[in-house]
Chains A and B, each alone.
Chain A
Amino acid sequence: MLQGVIAWLRRVWTSLLPGRVERDIERELSFHLAERADDLRAAGLSEGEAKRRARARFGNPAFQAERTRDVHVVHWLDTFMRDLRYAVRSLIRRPGFTLTVVLTLALAIGANAAVFSVLDAVILRPLPFPAADRLVSVSEVNERTTSTGVPPARLEDWRRLNTTLEAIDGYYVEDLSETSGDLPERVRRAVVTPGFLDVWGIRPVRGRGFTEAEYRFGGPRAVIISERYWQRRFGGAPDILERTVRIGTASIPIVGVMPADFRFPDREVDLWMPIPVDAPYAQDRQSPWYTVVGRLKPGVTVARAREDLAAVQAQLGEQYPETDRDIGIEVVPLKETAVGAVGQSLWLLFGAVTVLLLIACTNIAALLLSRGAHRREELAVRQSLGASRTAVAAQLLTETGVLALAGGVLGIAIAAAASGALRAAGANLPRFDEVTVGGRALLYTLASVVAVTLLCGLLPAVRAAGGLAALRGGAARAQVSTRSPLQWLLVGAQVALSVTLLAGAGLLVRSFHELSRVDPGFDPKDVLTFRVSGSWGETANYAAVMQRIDATIDALASLPGVEAAATSGWEVPGVPTQWHTTYELLEASTNSRPIIAEGRAVSAEYFRTMRIPVLAGELCRRAPPPSGSEPPVYEIMVNRAFVNRYLADRPSPIGLHLREMEGPIPASRIVGVVGDARERGLDREPGPTVYWCMSAPSPMPYFVVRARGDLGAVAQSVRMLMKDIEPLRSVYEVAPLEERIGDAFKENRLRMLLLAVFATAALSLACVGLYGTLSYAISVRRREVGLRLALGAPRHGIVGHFLARVAWVVGPACALGIALSLASSRLLSGMLYGVSPSGPATLLGVVGLVLAVATLAVLVPATRAALLEPTQVLRDQ
């Protein structure tokens, strides 16, 4: 048995490299012939005669040599190798054709591989943690607010009481100043709970995780740093575990280093520190501190975990009716939350690039069909010498296969080169930094190569192996009418698909344009945004925080060149976020509807800085710092949308009082109405908004500064000012507001650009196809054209005739393309702004473009036909 396998393997080897065996057989057979010739000469024959007779007695040496050789090879493999060598030789003989096809395929397959590798990295590949499919994101569903964060005490209860999670961790992220160097440096810190390393399953590369003592109030302090921070701040020093990090006035010993590719919760995190879970301030059941991640026990489903946690929460709701009642639980696989909406865009691009590949394939199939016509005689001769139709078809298919493989190899190279560019272009998009051309992309490319071979080559191969009929002269004429419709069909398909892609791209382009024209309701030009580091610990003395922030605002406003300065609270205006809350109107009648509006915390100077007009009432004033334990008193502004939605039945909104249903702030007075502004994102209608005039909702709000002149210079003077008044704090995230708003639409722009590129490529391919097909059709009918011209047909009539011929194909193709576009309009629906997928303007525009370009493409061959000299043509025939 084993011997049989070994023998087979040896035969495979000989099929691949038959040289040695062939030479041995040659030697053996020539020996026989030489011996026979010698003997015959010894018997008296002349040398020439002896040789002839020897050969006659032997039989046909070549034939016998081949039969002998057949014993040593695996038949189909041998045939394949022969076809392969022949294919390569004949392709090298036609460099123009070969190069065109290989390049086209390389671009199409390369684009496919590139998009696939992005898809693979972002959507298909699991997150880079052990058993990452068991990681889930856990959040609260609180009907009264949209906050999903979990208060610390509740998290600890969940940890104790749940039965489906192996580990659970909560974290929040803040930016602080590290002060051990000459200048304070901003570091990002993630505060984590017990369970930190258990959830992620990653061990530190140096040192250890946190001990139980370090999670206790009053216990030893400890910090784990990231490998990046280790390199950046400490230069990779080997004694890292004896160093410390200085936050505020405390020096904290470093106990561990996390590996460089550990990038949770956030790419920029430098430090992790434990929260003392038994600290008095960590017994809160209301403030949504944490984002929570859990690891499921093996075999537990997401649904099961959700049920379990919901049951636990219900139990807690009974125990703490004021704070824990009616809170739902959402458990979602972590990958879904990490990837977000980018997934949709990626699938769209993947579809587009696949369509592009299909178009390229039809182009090449048409090219191969017309090539097949030229080779009819060669193939017919082969068949008459004994090759079966299958053998001939197989040989042609091998040729296509070689082209496809060459295209595939080149395509992978292109994709690898492009992946660097893609990583850069999608810099902040989720998981984009993991994009590489990996094993799966190679497999996918291999599959594409096979698919391409079959798509492009099967039909032409079968067609060309048509039979001996071609040997009869003049058959070429008869064959035209059967072949042309097929080629026109292929070209029509290409045009239709191009129209679909162009329609999609056109819609995205128009959508992007609409977005840029929208009136944001505020003026984003000439505004610098930045943050100044602070820590949550400062909230112990809230009055001090308020004083500091207000003083900073005043100092900023007095800088030369600065027109106005303010804080804008939790986020920067114009960058898409979401935060709405339920409010209660104190003066409301009993059965009035619940008031749900977006809440923003901004300083009093905000409206002037952002140039949002005050429509009624007056601007709010800065809240005085509170005395004693009394909470500060704030004033409120509301926008027009709020008034229209909730207060339309009242004579004036001024003087009414609003209170957050779930918040700690007591009822506050409305003092004025401002215009609607699209602070939640330019693509969203401004909703009802309540502005709390508080300059410091957190110790590190965003600052917005309106200034004249170069914003870079302004940034410099801001840094110098902060160095003066707050030397221990760092200034970071400095950027012009327009740039931040632009960044938020990076994904949008990338998607639009890529789709436009693919659509343009598709249209170009379709035009090349049109040009080629018409040229070929005309070349075959030269005689007819010559006759017509000789019989007096006007030249423009010839042009018109061919144009009409083309129109018969392009017209229905455009219609089909439009139909396809409408059918797939749902794919785009979430990505458009201000345009409808079935809007006639875009579709008509696209059709117009395609018709124009198609006409140009066919005008050249048609005009050439019309310029033929009839006498020349007729004589040639």
Chain B
Amino acid sequence: MAPQKNDVLHGTLAMLVLKTLAVNGPMHGYAITNHIQRASADLLRVEEGSLYPALHRMEQLGWLRSEWGMTEKNREARFYSITRLGRKQLALEEENWARLTEGVARVLGYA
């Protein structure tokens, strides 16, 4: 389960993807990209391609599940959905994030 060197996984991307799927149910990679951009009011713009290594890695780790399906426009796409393990990981990461931001805020508050 150790994160790999060149991955964005160690950052927040995983948490954002997990949250997106937990809230909105199964989505394909394009939809996930758009959702993150919209939901963050365009503050977060991921290099779109780098999403995919992360998605596949998360699926390997068991946080996501995927299956091929059809979109409304009748195109074949791969849909990802969150697993129970993924939800646990999301809870863990949200907690870590909360602790991190609080800690940083306190330090900045002292400055």
The answer to whether A67 touches B53 (Cβ under 8 A) is: yes
**Closest residue of chain A to B59, judged by CB?**
A71
Chain A binding surface SS class: helix
Mask: chain B, 30-61; 1 = CB below 8 Å from A; 0 = not: 10010000000000000111101100110010
Chain B residues with Cβ below 8 Å from A72 are: 56, 60
The answer to whether A31 touches B48 (Cβ under 8 A) is: no
Q: Spot the interface stretch: A56-64, A716-724, A808-816, A831-839.
A: A56-64
Contact A64 to B52, CB < 8 A, known contacts A27-B76, A34-B75, A59-B47: yes
Is A29 in the interface zone, CB < 8 Å from B? Answer: yes
Query: How many angstroms between the C-alpha atoms of A39 and B9 in the bound complex?
Result: 28
The listed residue (A3, A58, A59, A68) touching B56 by CB distance below 8 A is A68
Contact A29 to B28, CB < 8 A, known contacts A59-B47, A71-B60: no
Mask: chain B, 63-79; 1 = CB below 8 Å from A; 0 = not: 00000000000011110
Cβ distance A78 to chain B, nearest Cβ, rounded Å: 15
The listed residue (B28, B49, B77) touching A58 by CB distance below 8 A is B49
The answer to whether A63 touches B52 (Cβ under 8 A) is: no
Contact A31 to B76, CB < 8 A, known contacts A7-B60, A68-B56, A71-B60: yes
Interface residues of B in 73-108 (CB under 8 A from A): 75-78
Is A304 in the interface zone, CB < 8 Å from B? Answer: no
Query: How many angstroms between the C-alpha atoms of A548 and B53 in the bound complex?
Result: 100
Is A374 in the interface zone, CB < 8 Å from B? Answer: no
The answer to whether B75 touches A58 (Cβ under 8 A) is: no
Chain A residues with Cβ below 8 Å from B60 are: 7, 71-72
Contact-residue bracket for chain B: 10 to 19
Mask: chain A, 1-43; 1 = CB below 8 Å from B; 0 = not: 0010001000000000000000011011101101110000000
Cβ distance A49 to chain B, nearest Cβ, rounded Å: 17
Chain B residues with Cβ below 8 Å from A24 are: 78
Is A70 in the interface zone, CB < 8 Å from B? Answer: yes
The answer to whether B57 touches A71 (Cβ under 8 A) is: yes
Chain B residues with Cβ below 8 Å from A32 are: 29-30, 33, 48, 52
Chain B binding surface SS class: helix
Chain A residues with Cβ below 8 Å from B56 are: 25, 68, 71-72
Chain B residues with Cβ below 8 Å from A58 are: 47-49
The listed residue (A3, A36, A67) touching B48 by CB distance below 8 A is A36
Query: How many angstroms between the C-alpha atoms of A397 and B26 in the bound complex?
Result: 47
Chain B residues with Cβ below 8 Å from A36 are: 30, 48
Interface residues of A in 42-87 (CB under 8 A from B): 57-61, 63-65, 67-68, 70-72
Query: How many angstroms between the C-alpha atoms of A72 and B59 in the bound complex?
Result: 10
The listed residue (A3, A27, A31, A70) touching B30 by CB distance below 8 A is A31
Contact A57 to B48, CB < 8 A, known contacts A31-B28, A31-B30, A71-B53: yes
Chain A residues with Cβ below 8 Å from B50 are: 59, 64, 67
Chain B residues with Cβ below 8 Å from A70 are: 53
Chain A residues with Cβ below 8 Å from B53 are: 64, 67-68, 70-71
The listed residue (A28, A57, A63) touching B29 by CB distance below 8 A is A28
The answer to whether A59 touches B75 (Cβ under 8 A) is: no
The answer to whether B30 touches A35 (Cβ under 8 A) is: yes
**Closest residue of chain B to A62, judged by CB?**
B49
Chain A residues with Cβ below 8 Å from B33 are: 32
Chain A residues with a Cβ under 8 A of chain B:
3, 7, 24-25, 27-29, 31-32, 34-36, 57-61, 63-65, 67-68, 70-72
21 contacts between A and B (CB under 8 A): A3-B62, A7-B60, A24-B78, A25-B56, A28-B77, A28-B78, A31-B28, A31-B75, A32-B52, A58-B47, A58-B49, A59-B47, A59-B48, A64-B50, A64-B52, A67-B50, A67-B53, A68-B52, A71-B57, A71-B60, A72-B56
Q: Please list the 3 inter-chain residue pairs (A to B) with the smallest Cβ-Cβ separation, ordered nearest first.
A: A64-B49, A59-B49, A67-B53
